[in-house]
Amino acid sequence: MRIGVCPGSFDPVTNGHVDIFSRASKMFDLVIAAVFHNPNKKPLFTMEERVEMLNLATKDITNIKVDSFSGLLYDYVLQQNSNFIVRGLRALSDFEYEFQRALLIKKIVPEIETIFMMTSNEYSFVSSSSIKELAKFGGPITGLVPECLEEKITKRIREKS
């Protein structure tokens, strides 16, 4: 079975993330959307909330599993019996950062391959941080996040502001 792991903080999940999951689901037998606990970040949503939101946002993708993890990505990937990490890229700056990370993982665990997927044009400017900033100041996030989560995301961002 070919398994692709899509790691990220997903705080919050965007339509760009869902687009990558959907496209990856055509390449792999199973896609794992893995919420990463990053101790260097203060997330807007708890790990459990992000997992729940990803489950709602990806309910139409039949071969996806949502999970969470902390620790080293390559350990998690191997624990999932996978050799593939899927990374979505929006811009050249994303590539530079992700390329260095991929090379480091490749050095440590040569059998793991990192697959880079360019975002669809319509989501190239969408990031979780831009969604938070837009909603914080009352801007519309319609079409940028899954419709089923728009109200929850807007409410939480405004509560925290």
Residue 105 in contact with residue 114, Cβ under 8 Å?
yes
In angstroms, rounded to a whole number, what is the distance separating the alpha carbons of residues 138 and 87? Answer: 30
9 is in an annotated binding site: yes
Angstrom distance (rounded) from CA 134 to CA 111: 40
Residue 147 annotated as lining a ligand binding site: no
152 is in an annotated binding site: no
Which residues participate in catalysis according to the annotation? Answer: 17, 41, 90, 128
Residue 4 annotated as part of some ligand binding site: no
127 labelled ligand-binding: yes
Residues marked as binding for substrate? 9, 41, 73, 87
Residues marked as binding? 9-10, 17, 41, 73, 87-90, 98, 123-129
Residues marked as binding for ATP? 9-10, 17, 88-90, 98, 123-129
